[in-house]
A and B are shown apart, each in its own frame.
Chain A
């Protein structure tokens, strides 16, 4: 090992470190450039978008594309649909997944193992491979072309039940018994004692549910048949390539669709990384 010391008392960087930084910075650019480019370009006019070579910065940072897209193309409706569906579906997911996880984690009842195995097994049955028959059921129940059809069917996520159940297994049974002795009902014990203790996994599930629902495409594409039921991703995909919707508006609405998840991620970053690290959740 070298005995050389720099004036600041630090060792000179090893070649490995230099190489690591170079690679990471290069890869970061591959990730960041398209996103930054899209955000910058979302302020450009149609003429600027067509210019060759393209200029990196827009001529002005006026939010014209955003206001015009909202005014001309009902993007406000799609935005509202996305928000309503994401918020309602996430709330429903949290409530029913937590209840199911509690039932499976803290009670001994006939059929418990079967129900748990069935729940786990369905992680392997994603929507993509049973598309037609899920659509049939939704159609029979009158859920096609309604926001309920976007909210209810994907709400019972197996990953959420699994994550919460694993966490609840770690909570001491004495808490529940003490509450029972104090005369609290089963539901009251659940709401007052268990739910507050489950804040960490609930935060992770909430974040993931928001990301899943906000970005979901295939199911909304099938269920939303009229334009006034489109969510943002469906609207963006349907309008992409149509000359009636200029690409600068599409870009602006794409940027709008990125904002909520990025804000949520930045605020709750630590919970996400820790949660994924602990469960490998997807």
Chain B
């Protein structure tokens, strides 16, 4: 069918179908993404008078101890989260892939936290880890300052992050495991390969694309963590668990309001996530 003979209604129809979605997309994602860079070049007093500031927001960020504290906390959280999520998800998926009674029930149980509101997850864990009155210390018969000590609080934040997301990533790995041709394993068994050798030389290499999906998704999630931390630690103690998104939120919406500074922070965050994702994708393309 040539373009000239295509009836007008068929030529117009696709644009009408795409329009509503693209309109909302454009207005609430694409335009703000571009505009964000512009805002980062302006300074404002409590979100009103904007004055052009060039790159001064960026230089201010780089000199700010709070920014580096948030960047450091984000890096620690993201690295721990990605590594533990990936290893944990592979481990859990291998367990769930076995022939077990109640396999469906186990899968449902591990998926349960994925469904819960992160706010509720943070609330419940904050209450369980409460130093004086919490279930954790009651069960342990100990007096561990879970959310009072900075390092323990970071560990708690990582743990609760894992608790929430592990089931989801394990499910993705499980799907990958089930896509592996069982003949590979059968052949290796005939050749006398041990269970460990089969895992090391067959399962893990064949699982690499799926593992990559988990690494990328958990990395993006790790850099965006905010909601459950907000109710678990509030970013404390003394900023120990204040990650980048919370830092941006506080600059943008809590007094003193610094839109430009927050926007500069979000440009940096975006470039970091984008850059790291790109590196991951490129590494994945490289022949093994």
Chain B residues with Cβ below 8 Å from A251 are 127
B9 contacts across to A, CB distance below 8 A: 185-186
Cβ–Cβ contact B29 & A254, under 8 A: no
Main secondary structure of the interface of A (DSSP, over half): helix
Instruction: Check if A280 sits within 8 Å of B249, measured CB to CB.
Output: no
In the bound complex, how far is the Cα of B107 from the Cα of A125, in angstroms?
31
Chain B stretch 1-41: residues in CB contact (< 8 A) with chain A: 9-11, 13-18, 20-22, 24-25, 27-33, 35-36, 39
- Does more than half of chain B's interface fall in helix, strand or loop, or is it mixed? helix
CB contact under 8 A between A54 and B138, given known A28-B109, A280-B213: yes
In the bound complex, do residue B17 and residue A152 qualify as a contact, i.e. CB atoms below 8 Å apart?
no
The interface residues of chain B lying within 8 Å CB-to-CB of A161 are 21
A-B pair number, CB within 8 angstroms: 255
In this complex, what residue of A is CB-closest to B32? A133
Q: Say if the beta carbon of A206 comes within 8 Å of chain B.
A: no
- Complex: how many Å from CA A218 to CA B163? 20
Tell me the chain A residues, 33-82 only, with Cβ under 8 Å from chain B: 34-35, 37-38, 49-50, 52-54
A134 at the interface (CB under 8 A from B): yes
By the criterion CB–CB under 8 Å, are B22 and A130 in contact? no
Query: In the complex the two chains form, is A109's CB within 8 Å of B117's CB?
Result: no
CB-CB under 8 A from A27, the residues of chain B are 92, 110
Q: A69 to chain B: closest CB distance in Å?
A: 14
Name A88-102 residues within 8 Å CB distance of B: 95-97, 99-100, 102
- Residue of B17, B114, B118, B133 near A103 (CB, 8 A) is B17
Query: B231 touching A240 by the CB < 8 A rule?
Result: yes
Determine which of B10, B20, B92, B98 lies in contact with A186 in the assembled complex, contact meaning CB atoms within 8 Å.
Answer: B10
Asked whether A178 is an interface residue with its Cβ less than 8 Å from the other chain, the reply is no
> Chain B: which residue is nearest A274 at the CB level?
B175
* CB <8 Å contact, B110 and A131: no
Interface residues on B, range: 35 or more
| Known contacts A21-B100, A130-B29, A218-B226; A257/B259 CB under 8 A | no
Report how many residues on chain A are interfacial, defined by Cβ distance under 8 Å.
92
A residues lining the B interface (CB < 8 Å): 16-17, 20-21, 23-24, 27-28, 30-32, 34-35, 37-38, 49-50, 52-54, 95-97, 99-100, 102-104, 107, 109, 112, 115, 118-119, 122, 124-126, 128-138, 141, 152-156, 158, 161, 180, 185-187, 190, 211, 214-215, 217-218, 222, 232-234, 236-237, 240, 247, 250-251, 254, 257-258, 261-262, 265-266, 269, 272-273, 276-278, 280, 282
